[in-house]
Amino acid sequence: MQLLRSLLKQILYESVRGDDDRKITDICCHSEKVKEGSLFVCINGYRNNGHEYVPQAVEHGAAVLVVDDRYVIESRSGPVILTEHMKVNVYELIRDRNICVVAVRDTRKALSALSAAFFDHPAERMKMIGITGTNGKTTTAFLTAGILQEAGYRVGMIGTIESYDGRRRETVKNTTPESCEIHRLLSRMVENECDCCVMEVSSQGIALQRTADIFFDIGVFLNIEPDHIGKGEHATFSEYLYCKSRLMRQCGIGIVNQDDPNVDKILAGHTCEVENFSIRHPSDVMAEDEWYGMESGSLQSHFTVKREWRREDIVMQLPGQFNIYNALAAISVAGHF
């Protein structure tokens, strides 16, 4: 449990109505997950406005409502939450309940900061690896985690196929879950004594502030292509590229694909130490002499990795040059352990 008063120190807020000396039992942004004593943050999705689920959250036992001040108007009877499809008199809703209402400018940003604080900043207690790219995130995440596990590290994962907290595997709805779920998972990894977390970081996850309060020890950029553009995603390729590039301002070491034609734009304004991998250009980690074939009934990729003064011959049961790029990224990350 956490005191609301201490959590509020982590965010900028416009106003607080009610008692901030409350013990918070959980934090969430989906009304069906609210339980007695929860802090419920109203966020806007592409299809739903979280403010319209305030009555359900209250009914389920929410102790605190964090709302966007743009949806709150003052009336004679007190504050009213007003959306396109709903009007709720907050005073009447909470009058007979000991509920606190906090108004902020950006509920997504608040959700991220409050979640990190509620779970006691678990990302700071592990080595965090964030992987972004249009293609190859999942393969690279599994390759990286596999190498580290073979080397004796306890590795947690968050990605498209599943999350793994060091003991239990679960399917996930989004490549990069909402920030409250991310920090819940990271907290479980810490409890399970994970040394590190390998995490797929989608451009939408970055745009929607889901990773805002995580500093990645290592950030990986694989590639970018004109994808995920349209309604409910990114408005333009430039916006998509910008969101990808933000990882390079949110990590200590940035490992990038030197062969991607947009790598310079990805690194624009970077604040990290930069390393690169390549098949075509001189780089920190390079692949040479690649060839592909079938042996023992499986398609294979063969190549030589060159890094510093070392050369290593690699064989893997993942065909295609794109998987050599994924492997180079994983090998680059492993070099920091």
Predicted pLDDT at 235: 76
Per the DSSP assignment, residues forming a β-bridge with 39 are 27, 64
Residues 81-109, mean pLDDT to the nearest whole number: 78
Residues 80-90, mean pLDDT to the nearest whole number: 69
Are both 2-119 and 122-335 of the same fold? no
pLDDT digits (tens, 9 = 90+) for 27-40: 999 999 999 999 99
Where exactly are the structural domains of the chain?
2-119, 122-335
Predicted pLDDT at 308: 84
pTM: 0.91
pLDDT at 322 over 90: yes
Sign of the CA dihedral running 83, 181, 113, 213? negative
pLDDT at 110 over 90: yes
Percentage of the chain modeled with pLDDT above 90: 73
Quickly state the pLDDT bin for 18 (edges 50, 70, 90): confident
pLDDT digits (tens, 9 = 90+) for 162-177: 999 999 999 888 888 9
Quickly state the pLDDT bin for 95 (edges 50, 70, 90): low
Predicted pLDDT at 232: 64
Taking every pair of Cα atoms in the chain, the longest distance, rounded to a whole number of angstroms, is 78
Contact 278, 290 (CB under 8 A): no
Per the listing, tokens 């743009």 go with 70
pLDDT at 125 over 70: yes
* Angle at CA of residue 113, ends 95 and 26, nearest 5°: 50
122-335 architecture in CATH? 3-Layer(aba) Sandwich (3.40)
pLDDT at 334 over 80: yes
Residues 6-22, mean pLDDT to the nearest whole number: 88
- Kindly report the length of the chain: 337
Residues 135-155, mean pLDDT to the nearest whole number: 97
Quickly state the pLDDT bin for 84 (edges 50, 70, 90): low
Residues 136-160, mean pLDDT to the nearest whole number: 97
pLDDT digits (tens, 9 = 90+) for 263-278: 999 999 999 999 999 9
In CATH, what number does 2-119 get? Answer: 3.40.1390.10
Give 125's contacts (C-beta < 8 A, 6+ positions apart): 190
Rounded Cα gap, residues 14 and 136, in angstroms? 42
Quickly state the pLDDT bin for 87 (edges 50, 70, 90): confident
Nearest Cα residue to 208 out of 238, 184, 157, 174: 174
Predicted pLDDT at 44: 84
Residues 302-324, mean pLDDT to the nearest whole number: 93
Predicted pLDDT at 61: 93
Helical axes 107-118 vs 179-191, angle rounded to 10° = 10
Rounded Cα gap, residues 328 and 337, in angstroms? 15
Mean pLDDT lowest for which of 97-101, 118-122, 126-130? 97-101
pLDDT digits (tens, 9 = 90+) for 38-79: 999 999 877 788 888 888 999 999 999 999 988 776 666 566
Residue, of 223 and 295, whose pLDDT is higher? 223
Predicted pLDDT at 76: 62
pLDDT at 83 over 70: no
Question: Mean pLDDT for the chain?
Answer: 91
Q: Tell me, what DSSP letter sits at residue 234? A: B
Residues 84-109, mean pLDDT to the nearest whole number: 79
In order of 11, 43, 196, 310, the CA distances from 148 in angstroms are: 36, 36, 9, 20
Pairing verdict, β 72-75 and 78-82? antiparallel
pLDDT at 139 over 90: yes
Residues 309-317, mean pLDDT to the nearest whole number: 92
pLDDT at 196 over 90: yes
Amino acid, res. 324: I
